Structure 1
Amino acid sequence: MQKFSASQIYLFMTFMMSLAASTIFTTYSIYYVMELRLNPLQLVLIGTVLEVTVLVFEGITGVVADTYSRKLSVIIGMFVLGMAFVLEGSIVWIMQPATLLPAFGWLLISQMLYGIGWTFFSGSDTAWIVDELEEGQTGQLFMRSKMFGLTASLLGIAVSVGLSIIAPNLPFLAGGAIYFLLGLILIRYMKETGFTRRERTPHSSPLRELGRTWASGASILRRHPLLLMLAVVTLFSGAASEGYDRLWPVYLMNDIGFPAGAVSMATVFGAISAVTALLGLLAVHLAGRMLDLNKERTAAAALFLLTLARAGCILLLALASDFYVAVSAVLILGVVGSVTEPVYTTWLNTKLPARNRATLLSMISQTDALGQSAGGPAVGYIGSRISIRASLLSAGILLLPVIALYGKVLRKSR
């Protein structure tokens, strides 16, 4: 039986998850806006339900990964994600006969499942692969995994556009099926050799063991100012991203408008995603060659500049009146996000102790969920009461504290 290394499994997992995500989310706004008829506030509220679910379950699932098994946590996450997206894609069929629960209600249930599945996966995958690799190998692997993910996104974009033209809900069903398939493959081929399960004390219940792991992680977080600062960064960054991520497609459709003679909306969004992925591939490749992520000052400087560019592009998008200017801002934001993710992941994981890594990653992810669940409704309310343009402006302003904090880290690293 052929053996696969941990790095190969991680890259394959990244490829498949990116394929599923791009299949679902390239044209998701068409399904939400045109088929399910969601308004701007509802668009943000479904994200809020997702993030509140993450906020509640993230700490629990992170502790499970640190206490019992990171492999088990990842695999559970794959199957729950599959169920969430299959349900979401089936809403349009569930609505056909009269049901007591409206489409928005079913959508909220699917978002709760999405959040639970994501928390089982979030943090567990990086905690697993960092344990399996030797020190100093993670930076290059995270850069490679991002390139694998972007390559898979190109394939997923084509699948999403093709399926959406047939029926807007089909990308959700296909993406859910990919998650189910990935879960089955990981059961067979994912190995876990670097993780040591915690020794249970005599007469200790599983619930008490989970509590001990969480308390240990919380103690580490309190004692390290840098980790607390990263939590604050994640809080504001999450608040800004929720408004932008949910509203930019409907902003292009309703406020900016498509050029005369433009092809179908599915094709336009597919083209935007494809160009973003191609530019992201180039940017990540160049960043991998130019940046030495083992140097703290290099990583801090990169994060400062990338966040500055992100805030500037969100404000440019909000102030744009021309379709091509708005799309240019969206493209640059996508490229910035592609480079930021592996840089931040590498920098963060180098500062976390292995024994509590998944728990601490979950705690930091909880601050992101808190930021999105608190900031998202506020940004969505602004969009419903004033305009989506005003919502995007507020999202860009929310990034200013993040820029200031990264600047502080950069000054201290001199």
Structure 2
Amino acid sequence: MNLRAAQVYIIMMFMTALASSTMFVTHGIYFVAELGLNPVQLVLMGTVLELTVLLFEGITGVVADTYSRRRSVIIGMFVIGAGFVLEGSVMWIGTMIPVLSLFAWVLVAELIWGIGHTFISGADSAWIVDEVGESNVGNLFLQTKRVSLWGNLLGIGLSVWMSTIAPNLPYVLGGLIYASVGVFLLFFMKETAFVGAVHKQQVSHWQHMKSTWLSGASTVRRNPILFMIVGVTLFSGAASEGYDRLWEMHLITEIGFPQNMALSMPMWFGLIAMVSTLISIAAVRITDSRLDMSNERVVFGAMFGLTAVRIAGIVMLAFSPNLIWALGSILIVGVVNTLSQPIYETWLNMNMESKSRATVLSMISQTDALGQTAGGPIVGWVGSRVSVRASLITAAVLLGPILTVFSRALRRR
């Protein structure tokens, strides 16, 4: 096991978790209370992001497998940083350059963020799996998630503090953190276990990229588990877009916060994120010690159980009669999402070849983007026409087919 690579990966994920938490803990306040976006606009942001991923993911994944996963990740860090700084600066830029509306500038930032994401998506996992080996990566993913949660905790404090000063500052700071990670990786990220296909034979770059993409597509088509993962990812993406974009609006507009407590809105969202993170740290630690991440059937069963709990949590939030009930539901969904990520990544990497790993991971990410692009506008439309509660119920319904797929597969296996 390459311990140096593992350390670099852990630091990278800690810093990106810090940046993401800094931005996203209070982003509902920025977009809903400050910029005044409605449910359709909130979902359209995600639609632009996911369409970008859908269009560019396959290209950048092939680039990572053809040239260098390291180079792809570093480029992505700088591009994402630029996108987030722009997103946090739309109020200033909209005043100085009024050729676009504030919402249009937000969409441009989402476009840049999406392009940067495609450079990293798949490439980071493919790099670390090759460096440490498939047999070690499951436990490393869980360990990384546990460390990342501490980054989340630090980011919560930064988010609340910066949002209290100005609602847009968390995005500016988050973008700068991403750029600093790019600088760090330039010096410390090494690629020792992978040689890009373009360096192996003397044929054209485009021929290598084409053959790599076809190899990845063939891998998905031949492997029933990977083909099933594509279906699961499609419906999961469709459901997650609605929930991720609208749960804050549900709290702000339909549940509300107590007026007789000396807590500002940023403090409420910070408190929610902090409690969720602390519970998640404990849950990941228990999972790491008790779940055999090298046993595919165990991993498979864990995904089934977590999906069922996720559906129940979203439905509970939709029918919440008060703030306490809503907060409990949000915590359940948050912990489930935290546990699902490393288990899902382990499940993915158990079923693919090294030479096309980044390409296949990018194809899976494209499937997620397709689901979010197709399902997000539907969920947003329901929220505008009926209510945000109805949107949440729609998101839960979209997760239903995943349980059917899991149950049938478990019976077969």
The one-letter code matched in structure 2 to 1:392 is L
Note the C-alpha offset of 1:293.
1.3
In structure 1, C-alpha distance between the alignment counterparts of 2:285 and 2:13, rounded to whole Å: 17
Are positions 1:255 and 2:242 aligned together?
no
The one-letter code matched in structure 2 to 1:338 is T
In structure 1, C-alpha distance between the alignment counterparts of 2:95 and 2:160, rounded to whole Å: 24
In structure 1, C-alpha distance between the alignment counterparts of 2:371 and 2:201, rounded to whole Å: 39
Q: What is the aligned partner in structure 1 of residue 344 from structure 2?
A: 344
Note the C-alpha offset of 1:331.
0.5
**Compared with structure 1, are the counterparts of its residues 401 and 133 closer, same or farther at alpha carbon in structure 2 (3 Å cutoff)?**
same
Q: What is the aligned partner in structure 2 of residue 179 from structure 1?
A: 178
Note the C-alpha offset of 1:411.
1.6
Within a 5 Å distance, the mapping from 1:233-312 to structure 2 comes to: 233-262=232-261, 263-312=263-312
Are positions 1:214 and 2:213 aligned together?
yes
In structure 1, C-alpha distance between the alignment counterparts of 2:39 and 2:351, rounded to whole Å: 38
Say which SS state the counterpart of residue 137 (structure 1) adopts. helix
Note the C-alpha offset of 1:139.
1.0
Give the conservation status (yes or no) of the 8 Å contact 2:219–2:352. no
Give the conservation status (yes or no) of the 8 Å contact 2:198–2:208. no
User: 1:13-71: per-residue Cα shift (whole Å, max 9, x none)?
Assistant: 01000000000101011110122110010000000000000001110010011000000
Note the C-alpha offset of 1:211.
1.3
TM-score norm. by structure 2 comes to: 0.97
The one-letter code matched in structure 2 to 1:157 is I
In structure 1, C-alpha distance between the alignment counterparts of 2:176 and 2:283, rounded to whole Å: 31
In structure 1, C-alpha distance between the alignment counterparts of 2:170 and 2:89, rounded to whole Å: 11
The one-letter code matched in structure 1 to 2:347 is W
Q: What is the aligned partner in structure 2 of residue 89 from structure 1?
A: 88
Give the conservation status (yes or no) of the 8 Å contact 2:94–2:105. no
In structure 1, C-alpha distance between the alignment counterparts of 2:307 and 2:257, rounded to whole Å: 28
In structure 1, C-alpha distance between the alignment counterparts of 2:134 and 2:26, rounded to whole Å: 39
Within a 5 Å distance, the mapping from 1:156-195 to structure 2 comes to: 156-195=155-194
Within a 5 Å distance, the mapping from 1:71-220 to structure 2 comes to: 71-97=70-96, 99-199=98-198, 204-220=203-219
Q: What is the aligned partner in structure 1 of residue 67 from structure 2?
A: 68
Pairwise CA RMSD of aligned residues?
Answer: 1.3
User: 1:314-367: per-residue Cα shift (whole Å, max 9, x none)?
Assistant: 011001121110110001111011111111111110111111100000001100
Q: What is the aligned partner in structure 1 of residue 363 from structure 2?
A: 363
In structure 2, C-alpha distance between the alignment counterparts of 1:202 and 1:4, rounded to whole Å: 30
Q: What is the aligned partner in structure 2 of residue 326 from structure 1?
A: 326
Note the C-alpha offset of 1:184.
0.4
Say which SS state the counterpart of residue 104 (structure 1) adopts. helix
Give the conservation status (yes or no) of the 8 Å contact 2:198–2:205. no
Worse-superposed segment, 48-57 or 252-261 = 252-261
Give the conservation status (yes or no) of the 8 Å contact 1:256–1:323. yes
Note the C-alpha offset of 1:273.
0.4
The one-letter code matched in structure 2 to 1:53 is T
Query: Percent sequence identity over matched residues?
Result: 52
Note the C-alpha offset of 1:135.
3.8
Note the C-alpha offset of 1:216.
1.1
The one-letter code matched in structure 1 to 2:265 is M
In structure 2, C-alpha distance between the alignment counterparts of 1:201 and 1:169, rounded to whole Å: 47
Say which SS state the counterpart of residue 28 (structure 2) adopts. helix
Give 5+ residue unaligned stretches, structure 1. none
Say which SS state the counterpart of residue 209 (structure 1) adopts. helix
Q: What is the aligned partner in structure 2 of residue 7 from structure 1?
A: 6
The one-letter code matched in structure 2 to 1:171 is P
The one-letter code matched in structure 2 to 1:399 is L
Within a 5 Å distance, the mapping from 1:386-397 to structure 2 comes to: 386-397=386-397
Note the C-alpha offset of 1:115.
0.5
**Compared with structure 1, are the counterparts of its residues 396 and 169 closer, same or farther at alpha carbon in structure 2 (3 Å cutoff)?**
same
Q: What is the aligned partner in structure 1 of residue 405 from structure 2?
A: 405
In structure 2, C-alpha distance between the alignment counterparts of 1:173 and 1:104, rounded to whole Å: 17
Note the C-alpha offset of 1:409.
2.2
Say which SS state the counterpart of residue 100 (structure 1) adopts. coil
TM-score norm. by structure 1 comes to: 0.97
User: 1:284-337: per-residue Cα shift (whole Å, max 9, x none)?
Assistant: 000011100111111111000000000010011001121110110001111011
In structure 1, C-alpha distance between the alignment counterparts of 2:3 and 2:77, rounded to whole Å: 20
Are positions 1:316 and 2:310 aligned together?
no
Say which SS state the counterpart of residue 95 (structure 1) adopts. helix
Give the conservation status (yes or no) of the 8 Å contact 1:300–1:409. no
Say which SS state the counterpart of residue 399 (structure 1) adopts. helix
Give the conservation status (yes or no) of the 8 Å contact 2:223–2:351. no
User: 1:176-198: per-residue Cα shift (whole Å, max 9, x none)?
Assistant: 00011110010000010010221
Worse-superposed segment, 13-22 or 194-203 = 194-203
Q: What is the aligned partner in structure 2 of residue 35 from structure 1?
A: 34
Give the conservation status (yes or no) of the 8 Å contact 1:147–1:284. yes
User: 1:96-120: per-residue Cα shift (whole Å, max 9, x none)?
Assistant: 2461200010000000011010010
Give 5+ residue unaligned stretches, structure 2. none
Give the conservation status (yes or no) of the 8 Å contact 2:65–2:359. yes
In structure 2, C-alpha distance between the alignment counterparts of 1:304 and 1:237, rounded to whole Å: 12
In structure 1, C-alpha distance between the alignment counterparts of 2:202 and 2:142, rounded to whole Å: 44
Are positions 1:383 and 2:383 aligned together?
yes
User: 1:228-265: per-residue Cα shift (whole Å, max 9, x none)?
Assistant: 11001000000000000000001000011112323111
In structure 1, C-alpha distance between the alignment counterparts of 2:194 and 2:200, rounded to whole Å: 18
In structure 1, C-alpha distance between the alignment counterparts of 2:234 and 2:167, rounded to whole Å: 33
Q: How many residues align?
A: 411
In structure 1, C-alpha distance between the alignment counterparts of 2:258 and 2:200, rounded to whole Å: 66
